[in-house]
Each structure stands twice: as structure tokens, then as C-alpha cells.
């Protein structure tokens, strides 16, 4: 295919470029540790069912080139057992009455001044 400058591009040339791009093979990209653990989750679950700890599984994964801690295996597989706290909305709380002003306080003095006027 002859090289064309940008000013000499035609619709046919662009179509040829598009076809060439379509023929490119998929380029593998490296997986993150989290993605790798998610892919291995069924196997990790099976090991857990057979009595292996997260630390033991992490040691085995590290031995095979996937450097990770037991805590990360636990979190990445969703086995962290994070407790969900349920919060009550503010409307569920009973209203508390305002405290009465102590004698001699500024609030009480304003009320007395208003009454004497």
C-alpha cells in the first residue's frame, strides 16, 4: 500500500486503513492482581471449602507468581465479611423538648424584660 499524505486521503484509502485495522489480532493486556483473583475465585472457594486459610492460599498464589496477601485474597473474593450497619433515619428519633432556661440566664432575662415593658 502506497503512503499517502493527509491531504491525499480518499474514502477508498480510509476504507483500506480501516480494513487493515480490523485484521489486527487482539493484543493481550496484563491483568491486575484483583482481576486475577476474581477469575480464580471459584478455585479459591473450593480451597476454602477444603480447609485452606486465606494466608495459605495467598502463599500458593505468590509461589506461582501472583504476589498477594491473605487479607487481599479475602477482600478480593468478597469473603471479607464486612458488617453492614443499619442506620436509623433522623425521623425515627423521638423529638426532645428544648431545655428550660435556668433562672438568671440570658434567655430568662430577655423574657423578664419583655414582660416588664
* 96 within 8 A of 108, measured Cβ to Cβ: no
pLDDT tens string 32-52: 999 999 999 999 999 999 999
Give the span between the Cα atoms of 26 and 103, in whole angstroms: 82
Q: How far is CA 62 from the centre of its chain?
A: 24
Give the span between the Cα atoms of 78 and 106, in whole angstroms: 57
More confident residue, 70 or 88: 70
* Cβ atoms < 10 Å from Cβ of 74: 20
Give this prediction's pTM.
0.51
Per-domain residue ranges of the chain: 30-87
pLDDT tens string 74-86: 999 998 765 555 6
End-to-end CA distance of the chain: 101
Q: Residue 104: pLDDT band by 50, 70, 90 thresholds?
A: low
Coil, helix or strand for 13?
Answer: helix
**Would the pLDDT of 2 be above 60?**
no
Amino acid at each position: 500500500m502506497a503512503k499517502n499524505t493527509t491531504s491525499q486521503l480518499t474514502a477508498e484509502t480510509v476504507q483500506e486503513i480501516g480494513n487493515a485495522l480490523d485484521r489486527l489480532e487482539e493484543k493481550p493486556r496484563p491483568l491486575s492482581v484483583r482481576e486475577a483473583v476474581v477469575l480464580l475465585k471459584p478455585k479459591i472457594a473450593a480451597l476454602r471449602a477444603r480447609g485452606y486459610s486465606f494466608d495459605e492460599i495467598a502463599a500458593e498464589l505468590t509461589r506461582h507468581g501472583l504476589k498477594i496477601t491473605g487479607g487481599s485474597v479475602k477482600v478480593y473474593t468478597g469473603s471479607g465479611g464486612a458488617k453492614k450497619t443499619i442506620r436509623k433515619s433522623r425521623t425515627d428519633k423521638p423529638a426532645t423538648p428544648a431545655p428550660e432556661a435556668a433562672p438568671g440566664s440570658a434567655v430568662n432575662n430577655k423574657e423578664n424584660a419583655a414582660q416588664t415593658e
